[in-house]
């Protein structure tokens, strides 16, 4: 496992993806996702092939399933929406087992699941093969505006701190016999959430004052510039090139 801030996001390894420069992987990820989104929604076989490509990329990273499966939970809201969509959309109706659903909604739901899952798998592959500090360096190298780089940097750095604070508050509630089993527990949970927000805000103010007192200039220093070879770019952009060819061919065929 990685060490330092954001250690839960990165998994150490020696695969090809682990060795690629972070800025190459970031550009490749964004290009791949955009190309997948550009595929027509009705081209389900093409989207299925790109989903298989994303699975292959994840397997190439050689990361144990126990580190990958929890991260896939981020897709849950989209999956729920996709399940509901065929029943609420309008248009021609088709039989789906014992029920009838909207054909337009069904097509959109399948496309949403395929595209969403592909994007999530690609993002998880990027996250588990890229140390958080390298992500910040990649954003700097790509000349992303300093405020966005700072937001990403502090989010990664203090996510563990806020998570630990939340865990301590949960332990404190349990030690006092609290159990969230009904609506009556909502006020206590809301009060805890508010307290966590206030503490995080106050911590942010203290960190900012400490930085200013040490000569903070408003931008992150570049400690080690990133470099990449032509081979790195060819490997990093290969999945995006495949997805782009699929997107263009399916649109021309349609």
Query: Could you tell me the residue ranges of all domains in the chain?
Result: 16-138+226-253, 145-213
* pTM: predicted TM-score of the whole model, two decimal places: 0.77
Residue 111 confidence (pLDDT): 92
Block means of pLDDT (10 residues each) for the chain, 254 residues, are 50 85 94 95 93 93 82 85 86 82 88 93 90 85 85 79 85 83 81 88 87 80 80 94 94 80
Residue 199 confidence (pLDDT): 87
User: Can you tell me the distance from the alpha carbon of 108 to that of 41, in angstroms, rounded to the nearest whole number?
Assistant: 6
Residue 115 confidence (pLDDT): 94
Chain mean position to CA 8 = 13
Residue 235 confidence (pLDDT): 93
Letter string b/e over residues 154-193, b meaning 16 or more CB atoms within 10 A of that residue's CB: eebbbeeeeeebeeeeeeebeeeeeeeeeeeeeeeeeebe
Residue 4 confidence (pLDDT): 46
Which residue, chain included where needed, has tokens 């991260």?
71
């Amino acid at each position: 496992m990685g060490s330092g801030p954001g250690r839960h996001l990165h998994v150490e390894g020696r695969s090809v993806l682990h060795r690629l420069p972070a800025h190459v992987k970031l550009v490749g990820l964004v290009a791949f996702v955009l190309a997948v989104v550009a595929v027509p929604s009705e081209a389900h076989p093409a989207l299925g092939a790109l989903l298989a490509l994303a699975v292959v990329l994840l397997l190439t990273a050689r990361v144990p399933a126990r580190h990958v499966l929890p991260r896939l939970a981020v897709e849950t809201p989209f999956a729920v929406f996709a399940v509901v969509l065929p029943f609420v959309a309008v248009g021609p109706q088709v039989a789906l087992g014992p029920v009838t659903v909207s054909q337009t909604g069904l097509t959109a739901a399948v496309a949403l699941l395929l595209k969403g899952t592909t994007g999530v798998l690609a993002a998880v592959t990027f996250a588990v093969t890229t140390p958080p500090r390298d992500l910040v360096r990649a954003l700097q190298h790509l000349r992303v505006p300093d405020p966005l780089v700072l937001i990403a940097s502090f989010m990664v750095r203090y996510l563990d701190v806020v998570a630990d604070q939340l865990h301590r508050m949960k332990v404190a509630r349990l030690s006092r016999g609290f159990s969230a089993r009904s609506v009556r527990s909502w006020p206590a949970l809301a009060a805890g959430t508010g307290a966590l927000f206030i503490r995080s805000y106050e911590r942010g103010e203290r960190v900012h004052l400490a930085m200013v007192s040490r000569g903070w200039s408003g931008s992150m220093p570049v400690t080690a510039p990133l470099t990449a070879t032509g081979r790195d770019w060819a490997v990093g952009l290969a999945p995006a090139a495949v997805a782009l060819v699929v997107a263009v061919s399916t649109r021309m065929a349609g």
